Amino acid sequence: MVRIKICGVTTPEDARFAAEAGADAVGLNFYPQSPRFISPQTAMSIVRALPAFTSAVGVFVGMQIRQVCATAFQLGLRGVQTYDEQPPSEDTFPFAHVPAFRVKDATGLDHVRRFVEAAKSLGRVPSAILIDSHVPGLMGGTGQAAPWELLRGFDVGVPLILAGGLTPENVAEAITLVRPWGVDVASGVESAPGRKDPEKVALFVKNVQIASAALFT
């Protein structure tokens, strides 16, 4: 089944609802320039609210990997999502590392391939890679779609998470084309930046599950 991450969660209530609706993970944004930015104190209240089998993943931009892992340890995160040009200088274990890439063309995919190969050579294979849309100056949550057709058949030997412009209305098409291991949504299920719409979240999860079931039958 295709895994589901609801990203940019800012309240315990939204986190609990996402989990109850069927999300596998929620994303907590620690990038100060994001409208979905939260403090470590808020993040802690969100993590405390999650059911036992729902993972919390931190989203970090421009932070040293040692500090990223220290934050993850402090908050009890399962994974860390980073936007970096090079593989981390240190091992992120026990935190799952998901490097994110803003892709607009084939050159962007070549960069992803080089990144993963370099990480493999260091013995630090990513747990997954996340492919997002490329919007100058913005790091995720843009509402613009990633290049689905370009990603058809793209495989670097690690699970692929598709992000960028996903909504309840288009996620089934995206899954059919790209066949990702997971999908990641932020703005596509919101009533306002950082505030999730329960109906949109529930419909998104439902449509992912339907599309996913069709792939594996």
Looking at residue 136, its pLDDT comes to 53
User: What are 132-183's pLDDT values in tens digits?
Assistant: 986 555 555 556 677 898 999 999 999 999 999 999 999 999 999 999 999 9
Q: Is 7 a catalytic residue?
A: yes
Tokens coding 3: 């895994």
Predicted TM-score (pTM) of the model is 0.93
Alpha helix (H) residue ranges in 122-179: 148-151, 171-178
Tokens of 72: 């993850």
Q: Does the structure show a pLDDT above 80 at 127?
A: yes
Instruction: Find the mean pLDDT for residues 188-217.
Output: 94
DSSP-based three-state secondary structure for 200 = helix
Of the residues 7, 14, 24, 184, only one is catalytic, namely 7
Contact between 124 and 146 under an 8 Å Cβ cutoff? The reply is: no
Per-residue confidence (pLDDT) for residue 134, from 0 to 100: 60
Q: In this prediction, what percent of the chain has a pLDDT beyond 90?
A: 88
Active site residue 69: no
User: Could you state, in order of their start, the residue ranges of all structural domains in the chain?
Assistant: 3-215
**Among 14, 24, 132, 184, which one carries the catalytic annotation?**
132
Per-residue pLDDT, averaged over 83-111, amounts to 93
Question: What is the rounded CA–CA span in Å between residue 64 and residue 54?
Answer: 26
Over the Cα atoms of the chain, what is R_g? 16
**pLDDT, tens digit, for every residue of 29-79?**
999 999 999 999 999 999 999 999 999 999 999 999 999 999 999 999 999
Domain 3-215's class? Answer: alpha beta
